[in-house]
Amino acid sequence: MLRILLLSVLVALALAEPRYLEEAPEERVVGGEVAQPNSWPWQISLQYLSGGSYYHTCGGSLIRANWVMTAAHCVDTSRTWRVVLGDHNLNTNEGREQYMSVSNVYIHPNWNSNNVASGYDIALLRLSSSATLNSYVKLATLPPSGQVLPHNNPCYITGWGRTSTGGSLSAQLKQAYLPVVDYSTCTRSDWWGSTVKNTMVCAGGGVDSGCNGDSGGPLNCQVSGQYVVHGVTSFVSSLGCNTTKKPTVFTRVSAYSSWISGIIG
């Protein structure tokens, strides 16, 4: 199931068009390395039902025992969804997984699938039952409202996305080091320009990046000695996942704190 949406960007230097990072089964982070199993215990695999089987399409973060945060573009079509918690290798049952059906999908009301550059690429999934929290399944820490991280703040993207643009697949969760690119840099005309809004976070821009299949997953940033989910993976350049000066773009979680709390209480 290939779903790539393109946005026409009419700005200086013909900036690349954004491309969503939702994709077909088993596709991985570009660059980076295989993560230690269950070292990102809030990472989930969002899967859809097709022909009697479930297939990975996006990532997400467990933010309450019965709530998952993901990207709006992952769930703006009507499907039967499930969330897999505690997974590492999508092709192997390691005995740590928890499988949860999704009872409700809440997409940000301002999300417009025809205009990714307007932002609001965030959604919440209510699970049909509560996860059992343990050493393999834990809740993500979310940032305080409005917090913006400085340039080069250390972060990692995690996900089951492509390992290269159009490249080979790997079933294991990967991680890649993507330091924050601050707003003033990311909006320069030779970077993303006006495509990026202040409700977004840019990270990376070099060899490593997110890619198809990573959408909705977390940008895990180191703040005061702990990892905090500051971003929801949203889009990359249509020129290629790891195009120079086109860092991976994330929905900035701290810009949506009040919306999140209004939904989950």
Q: Which residues are catalytic?
A: 73, 121, 215
Q: How far apart are CA 77 and CA 170, in angstroms?
A: 26
Structure tokens at 241: 């996942």
Taking the CB of residue 199, how many other CB atoms lie within 10 A of it? 16
Structure tokens at 24: 């077909």
Radius of gyration of the chain (CA): 16
Question: CA-CA-CA-CA torsion for 14, 20, 21, 23, nearest 10 degrees?
Answer: -120
Q: How far apart are CA 200 and CA 33, in angstroms?
A: 25
Count Cβ atoms within 10 A of the Cβ of residue 135 and give its class: 0-12 exposed, 13-18 middle, 19 or more buried: exposed
Q: Are 89 and 79 in contact (CB under 8 A)?
A: no
Structure tokens at 40: 């990102």
Q: How far apart are CA 255 and CA 257, in angstroms?
A: 6
CA 67 to chain centroid: 15
